[in-house]
Amino acid sequence: RDIGCIVRSLGCFPSEAELRELLAKLVEKEEEEEATRFIHLEKFLPVMTKVLLDRSYWPIREDVLLHAFEALDENKCGYITKEDLVKYLTEE
């Protein structure tokens, strides 16, 4: 369940569908039951190394991020407060 966080912490931002595909590469059929709990490092490293070297998942473009923050800036003041950001991340 933490594989998305791990992959994103490495600077890769796959969609949920791409994340499921990546997970399928890491899991062999006979390991499906165990795979819901653990992915062994010796299987993760070669797959993730290839993903990083191939630049398989590009980061979100700066203009897309800026547009998202502008949408959250209800008062059009050029910034959002910490309180608003916490609210958006936890409630909405």
Q: What is the mean pLDDT of residues 34-39?
A: 65
Can you list the pairs that 77-82 forms with residues at least 24 positions away whose Cβ atoms lie under 8 Å?
none
| pTM, 2 dp | 0.55
> For the chain, how big is the Rg over CA atoms in Å?
17
Instruction: Look at residue 35 and tell me whether its pLDDT is greater than 60.
Output: no
Q: What percent of the chain has pLDDT over 90?
A: 8
What is the spatial distance between Cα 39 and Cα 22, in angstroms, rounded to a whole number?
12
Instruction: Look at residue 38 and tell me whether its pLDDT is greater than 80.
Output: no
Q: What is the mean pLDDT of residues 58-72?
A: 86
Torsion angle defined by CA atoms of residues 25, 28, 31 and 37, in that order, rounded to the nearest 10 degrees: 0
In the block, residue with structure tokens 């993760």: 44
